[in-house]
Structures are given as C-alpha cells and as structure tokens.
Amino acid sequence: MEYAQEYSKKEKAVRILAGVFVGSVIYFLHTIWLIPIINDVVSRPHCFEWLDFNLADYFWYLVMVGVPLFAFTMSWILIPRGIAGIRERRFPPKAVKVYRPTKVKTGFLAWLISAMHLLIPFVFLILAAWGYLQAAHFPTFNKQALDLNLCIKDSTH
C-alpha cells in the first residue's frame, strides 16, 4: 500500500501556526469590523450607497449572487487538486503533501474524490447563476415605507 508524502514536523508547525495566525486575524476583523457593518446594512439597507447604487435596490442580488460567489472564492483552491487527481488517477496527487499518514486511493474512489473537489466550486457558480435569475423576482423594498431618519448618523456612537 502506497502512502502520500507527509510534511516534515517543521513544515507542519509553520503551516499550523500560520493558519492559526491568519484565522485569528480574520476572526478579529470579522468580529470587530464586518459583523457591525452587516448588521447595519440589514437593519437599514436604504441608507447605504456604493458606487451610486443603493443597496436596497440590489439587496437580493447581494444575498443570492454575492454569497455564492464569495463561497466560490473560498473553494476555488480545490480545482487544481481535483484536476490533478483525475489526471493522475490517484488521490491525493503526487505533488500534494499531507499532515498525517494517508493511504493513496486509486481507481474509482480516487476519481470520485477528485470529482467532488471539482463539483463543490462548480455548484457555487451554478447557485450564483441561479440566484441572479431569481433575484429579480423577489419583492423590492418600498422606499416610501422606510424611515429616512434612520439614515442620520447618531453622534453618540
């Protein structure tokens, strides 16, 4: 039975520490900066404009297209590994190192795992295309019913 090439202990430590650091920075920025912005936009979308587009007009496009496209940007890194796995008919491919002893899978199982690596980003793209077609049919915000006083910045915050 063939095993995939493993990272050395030093490589593992560096990669894990780098991942923890990057993850901590992302978590911190998400908690301090992004969550308040998202809550603000959701509570009063008619108050925000970006490049002269009012977010109330394009709210459903943000949800139905923006979220799947963001998920695609997080999953696109699976594509090269999936292509290499199908091309080499083994998984993980030869150029891929692993963190723990991993048996190399061949045959149909390797093809199936590689195909899943390609399918996940593809599903996000299809979902974004479907969302683009559906977003126009969702109800729009009635701007006359929205309170414009919410758009005034409160100096106490």
DSSP string, 136-156: TTSPPP-TTTS-GGGGSPPTT
**How far are the Cα atoms of 49, 68, 102 from residue 29, in angstroms, in the given order?**
22, 21, 35
Contacts of 23 (CB under 8 A, 6+ apart): none
Maximum pairwise Cα distance, the chain: 69
Res 55: pLDDT: 74
Res 53: pLDDT: 75
pLDDT in tens, the chain (157 residues): 899 999 999 999 999 999 999 999 999 999 999 898 888 877 777 777 777 777 777 788 888 999 999 999 999 999 999 999 999 999 999 999 999 999 999 999 999 999 999 999 999 999 999 999 998 888 877 766 666 666 766 545 5
Cα 13 from Cα 28, distance rounded (Å): 22
Res 156: pLDDT: 52
Res 136: pLDDT: 84
Res 52: pLDDT: 76
**How far are the Cα atoms of 24, 53, 59, 84 from residue 17, in angstroms, in the given order?**
10, 41, 38, 27
Q: What pTM was computed for the model? A: 0.75
Res 99: pLDDT: 94
Res 44: pLDDT: 76
Give the number of other Cβ atoms within 10 Å of residue 153's Cβ.
Answer: 7
Contacts of 45 (CB under 8 A, 6+ apart): 54, 55, 56, 59, 141
